[in-house]
Amino acid sequence: MSITKSFEDEFQTLFKYELAPYPLSLFYAIGMRKTQKSAIYDCFQFVNLEIDNTNTTYIIDGGYLLHRVVQDREEIFDAIFEKYVHYVHRHFGHNGIIVFDGYSDYTKNTKVAEQHLRTTKISSSSDVLFDRFMTVPTNRQHANTHNKSLHFNAI
Protein backbone atom coordinates (compact mmCIF):
# COMPACT_ATOMS: atom_id res chain seq x y z
CA MET A 1 0.00 0.00 0.00
CA SER A 2 2.78 2.41 0.83
CA ILE A 3 4.30 1.95 -2.62
CA THR A 4 1.08 2.79 -4.47
CA LYS A 5 0.10 5.65 -2.16
CA SER A 6 1.01 8.98 -3.62
CA PHE A 7 -1.76 11.22 -2.26
CA GLU A 8 -3.78 11.09 0.97
CA ASP A 9 -7.14 10.81 -0.83
CA GLU A 10 -5.87 7.81 -2.85
CA PHE A 11 -4.94 6.12 0.42
CA GLN A 12 -8.61 6.10 1.51
CA THR A 13 -9.67 4.31 -1.70
CA LEU A 14 -7.36 1.40 -0.88
CA PHE A 15 -9.57 0.47 2.08
CA LYS A 16 -12.71 0.08 -0.06
CA TYR A 17 -11.73 -3.55 -0.57
CA GLU A 18 -11.25 -6.30 1.99
CA LEU A 19 -7.59 -6.86 2.80
CA ALA A 20 -6.26 -10.43 3.05
CA PRO A 21 -3.11 -11.85 4.71
CA TYR A 22 -2.21 -13.68 1.49
CA PRO A 23 -3.20 -13.38 -2.19
CA LEU A 24 -6.58 -15.10 -2.47
CA SER A 25 -5.94 -16.02 -6.10
CA LEU A 26 -3.24 -18.46 -4.92
CA PHE A 27 -5.54 -20.42 -2.60
CA TYR A 28 -8.91 -22.14 -2.54
CA ALA A 29 -10.87 -23.92 0.22
CA ILE A 30 -8.57 -26.97 0.45
CA GLY A 31 -5.21 -25.27 0.03
CA MET A 32 -2.89 -23.86 -2.59
CA ARG A 33 -4.06 -23.94 -6.20
CA LYS A 34 -2.19 -26.19 -8.63
CA THR A 35 -0.79 -24.41 -11.66
CA GLN A 36 0.29 -25.57 -15.03
CA LYS A 37 4.07 -25.50 -14.64
CA SER A 38 4.63 -25.16 -18.37
CA ALA A 39 2.84 -21.77 -18.31
CA ILE A 40 5.90 -20.15 -16.73
CA TYR A 41 8.10 -21.12 -19.70
CA ASP A 42 6.36 -18.45 -21.78
CA CYS A 43 7.89 -15.83 -19.47
CA PHE A 44 11.45 -16.74 -20.47
CA GLN A 45 13.26 -15.72 -23.59
CA PHE A 46 15.70 -18.13 -25.27
CA VAL A 47 19.33 -17.01 -25.12
CA ASN A 48 21.94 -18.80 -27.21
CA LEU A 49 25.23 -18.69 -25.29
CA GLU A 50 28.35 -20.80 -25.45
CA ILE A 51 29.04 -22.00 -21.90
CA ASP A 52 32.31 -23.55 -20.76
CA ASN A 53 31.27 -26.62 -18.72
CA THR A 54 34.77 -27.97 -18.09
CA ASN A 55 34.83 -27.06 -14.40
CA THR A 56 31.13 -27.39 -13.58
CA THR A 57 29.44 -29.15 -10.69
CA TYR A 58 25.79 -30.04 -11.26
CA ILE A 59 23.29 -30.06 -8.40
CA ILE A 60 20.62 -32.60 -9.35
CA ASP A 61 17.16 -32.83 -7.80
CA GLY A 62 16.65 -36.39 -6.55
CA GLY A 63 12.92 -36.16 -7.28
CA TYR A 64 13.81 -35.39 -10.90
CA LEU A 65 15.86 -38.60 -11.05
CA LEU A 66 12.93 -40.66 -9.78
CA HIS A 67 11.01 -39.65 -12.90
CA ARG A 68 13.93 -39.96 -15.33
CA VAL A 69 15.38 -43.35 -14.40
CA VAL A 70 13.18 -46.15 -15.71
CA GLN A 71 12.66 -48.87 -13.14
CA ASP A 72 11.70 -52.33 -14.41
CA ARG A 73 9.25 -54.48 -12.46
CA GLU A 74 10.76 -56.95 -10.01
CA GLU A 75 14.20 -55.34 -10.34
CA ILE A 76 16.65 -55.61 -7.44
CA PHE A 77 17.77 -52.43 -5.68
CA ASP A 78 21.39 -52.97 -6.66
CA ALA A 79 20.41 -52.77 -10.35
CA ILE A 80 18.22 -49.71 -9.71
CA PHE A 81 21.05 -47.91 -7.91
CA GLU A 82 23.39 -48.75 -10.80
CA LYS A 83 20.87 -47.18 -13.21
CA TYR A 84 20.85 -43.97 -11.16
CA VAL A 85 24.65 -43.78 -11.22
CA HIS A 86 24.78 -44.52 -14.96
CA TYR A 87 22.12 -41.86 -15.71
CA VAL A 88 23.92 -39.17 -13.69
CA HIS A 89 27.32 -39.97 -15.24
CA ARG A 90 25.87 -40.05 -18.77
CA HIS A 91 23.95 -36.77 -18.49
CA PHE A 92 25.99 -34.75 -15.96
CA GLY A 93 29.43 -36.34 -15.85
CA HIS A 94 31.21 -37.26 -12.64
CA ASN A 95 30.73 -33.83 -11.06
CA GLY A 96 27.12 -34.29 -10.03
CA ILE A 97 25.66 -33.94 -6.56
CA ILE A 98 22.23 -35.46 -5.98
CA VAL A 99 20.08 -33.62 -3.45
CA PHE A 100 16.84 -35.01 -2.07
CA ASP A 101 14.51 -32.60 -0.36
CA GLY A 102 15.10 -32.52 3.35
CA TYR A 103 11.82 -30.99 4.44
CA SER A 104 10.45 -32.49 7.62
CA ASP A 105 6.74 -32.95 8.24
CA TYR A 106 6.94 -30.10 10.72
CA THR A 107 8.20 -27.51 8.26
CA LYS A 108 5.51 -25.12 7.14
CA ASN A 109 6.11 -24.51 3.47
CA THR A 110 4.42 -25.22 0.15
CA LYS A 111 6.67 -28.21 -0.61
CA VAL A 112 5.48 -30.12 2.48
CA ALA A 113 1.85 -29.25 1.71
CA GLU A 114 2.25 -30.53 -1.85
CA GLN A 115 3.92 -33.75 -0.67
CA HIS A 116 1.12 -34.28 1.82
CA LEU A 117 -1.52 -33.88 -0.89
CA ARG A 118 0.32 -36.37 -3.11
CA THR A 119 0.70 -39.01 -0.41
CA THR A 120 -2.92 -38.78 0.75
CA LYS A 121 -4.10 -39.55 -2.80
CA ILE A 122 -2.12 -42.82 -2.78
CA SER A 123 -2.96 -45.61 -0.41
CA SER A 124 -0.36 -46.01 2.29
CA SER A 125 2.09 -48.88 2.31
CA SER A 126 3.91 -50.70 5.06
CA ASP A 127 7.52 -49.91 5.99
CA VAL A 128 10.12 -51.81 3.98
CA LEU A 129 13.62 -52.68 5.17
CA PHE A 130 15.73 -52.10 2.06
CA ASP A 131 18.55 -54.40 1.10
CA ARG A 132 20.69 -54.39 -2.05
CA PHE A 133 19.33 -57.68 -3.37
CA MET A 134 15.61 -57.36 -2.68
CA THR A 135 13.25 -56.89 -5.61
CA VAL A 136 10.98 -53.89 -5.89
CA PRO A 137 7.50 -54.69 -7.21
CA THR A 138 6.46 -51.08 -7.99
CA ASN A 139 7.20 -47.45 -7.20
CA ARG A 140 4.36 -47.51 -4.67
CA GLN A 141 6.81 -47.92 -1.80
CA HIS A 142 7.40 -44.15 -2.17
CA ALA A 143 3.84 -43.53 -0.96
CA ASN A 144 5.24 -44.24 2.49
CA THR A 145 7.49 -41.27 3.40
CA HIS A 146 9.65 -43.47 5.65
CA ASN A 147 10.34 -45.87 2.74
CA LYS A 148 11.04 -42.92 0.45
CA SER A 149 13.68 -41.50 2.79
CA LEU A 150 15.27 -44.96 3.25
CA HIS A 151 15.42 -45.37 -0.53
CA PHE A 152 17.01 -41.92 -0.94
CA ASN A 153 19.56 -42.61 1.78
CA ALA A 154 20.51 -45.85 0.07
CA ILE A 155 21.04 -44.03 -3.24
The Cα–Cα gap between 71 and 80 comes to 7
Phi-psi region of 69 (alpha: psi -120 to 50; beta: other; left: phi over 0): beta
The Cα–Cα gap between 41 and 6 comes to 35
Whether residue 89 has pLDDT greater than 70: yes
Write out the H or E segment, with its range, that includes residue 76. Answer: strand 75-76
pLDDT band of residue 99 (cuts 50, 70, 90) is: confident
**Can you give the pLDDT at residue 109?**
64
Whether residue 86 has pLDDT greater than 90: yes
Closest by CA position to 89, among listed 70, 74, 67, 69:
69
**Can you give the pLDDT at residue 1?**
46
Q: Which range (58-62, 85-89, 107-111) has the least confidence?
A: 107-111
Each residue's pLDDT tens digit, 43-68: 888 889 888 888 889 999 888 888 88
Model confidence, pTM: 0.50
Which amino acid is residue 120, in one-letter code? T
Whether residue 113 has pLDDT greater than 50: yes
Cα dihedral value 108, 110, 116, 118, nearest 10: -170
Write out the H or E segment, with its range, that includes residue 81. Answer: helix 77-92
**Can you give the pLDDT at residue 34?**
75
Q: Are 137 and 74 a contacting pair, CB within 8 Å?
A: yes
Each residue's pLDDT tens digit, 114-128: 666 666 665 555 666
Mean pLDDT, the chain, whole residue set: 73
Give percent of the chain above pLDDT 90: 5
